[in-house]
Amino acid sequence: MNKQSNTYTLIYIIVLVIVVGTALAWTALSLKPRQQENVAADKMSQILAAARITPDKTEVVADFNKYITSSFVIDEKGDKVEGEEAFGVDVATESKVATSRRLLPVYVCTLADGSRKYILPVYGAGLWGPIWGYVAVDGDGSTIYGAYFAHQGETPGLGAEIEKPAFSDQFEGRHLFKEGKFQPIEVVKKGMVPTDGADYVDGISGGTITSKGVGAMLDNCLTPYKKFLRSLAEGENSDLK
């Protein structure tokens, strides 16, 4: 065949595309299990971070299995939803549906001293993209033990500061119930105080929209857990502890 002809060039291109496409497809399929493992390990690490546990990268899965002694899914009424696994719930999707239809994951973390922390996922919107995190609550159903937040594309030095301990550490010791009333932690401008008496943390200086996004995220995602958290305080639902 004449290598200078259009037919040869066309055949050559078609064969090249098929070979390269096959190679890329094979590579993607062969790497997929490892990618999924990495995604799962990252999620485990974030969940543990809310309970103030920072495992070595090589020990994430082992520490997750060690400290997360139970997990389940509940509904807005605080009742367990059978047939659902907490780790598989898409919180991003659930955060957008009516609270009466949401699947609400709960991770029970048992620390070395035997105390239990209940880790709840949250998801919302920042200035440039999604923000998310996990909040660990003490067994009294009110006191926050720890928190972890992350983002996809907030501005470095501004909104991106939500992922820093200087912001998340403020949540430790804050309460979700004030005088018996459920009030998610508010994120306010530094120097200001909520008028409704809710516990609060200082927002990020220069990151007003992201800070408001965190506040809205906590309100939207923690409020559906209200009955479950109240049942912890009252010693109910022992089968879910």
Asked whether residue 236 is domain-assigned, the answer is yes
pTM listed for this prediction: 0.84
- CA-nearest of 169, 142, 145 to 233 is 142
pLDDT confidence of residue 2: 57
pLDDT confidence of residue 179: 87
Q: Return per-residue pLDDT of the chain as tens, 241 residues.
A: 555 666 666 777 787 777 777 767 666 666 566 667 778 999 999 999 999 999 888 899 999 999 999 999 999 999 999 999 999 999 999 999 999 999 999 999 999 999 999 999 999 999 999 999 999 999 999 999 999 999 999 999 999 999 999 999 999 999 999 988 999 999 999 888 887 889 999 999 999 999 999 999 999 999 999 999 999 988 755 556 5
Asked whether residue 29 is domain-assigned, the answer is no
Residue with tokens 């995604």: 39
Domain span holding position 118: 48-240
Contact call for residues 142 and 176 (beta carbons, < 8 A): yes
Asked whether residue 71 is domain-assigned, the answer is yes
Contact call for residues 63 and 49 (beta carbons, < 8 A): no
pLDDT confidence of residue 168: 96
Asked whether residue 17 is domain-assigned, the answer is no
pLDDT confidence of residue 200: 94
Asked whether residue 197 is domain-assigned, the answer is yes
Asked whether residue 9 is domain-assigned, the answer is no
Asked whether residue 174 is domain-assigned, the answer is yes
pLDDT confidence of residue 38: 77
Asked whether residue 7 is domain-assigned, the answer is no
Say if strands 186-188 and 200-202 run parallel, antiparallel, or are unpaired: parallel
Provide the domain count of the chain: 1
pLDDT confidence of residue 6: 64
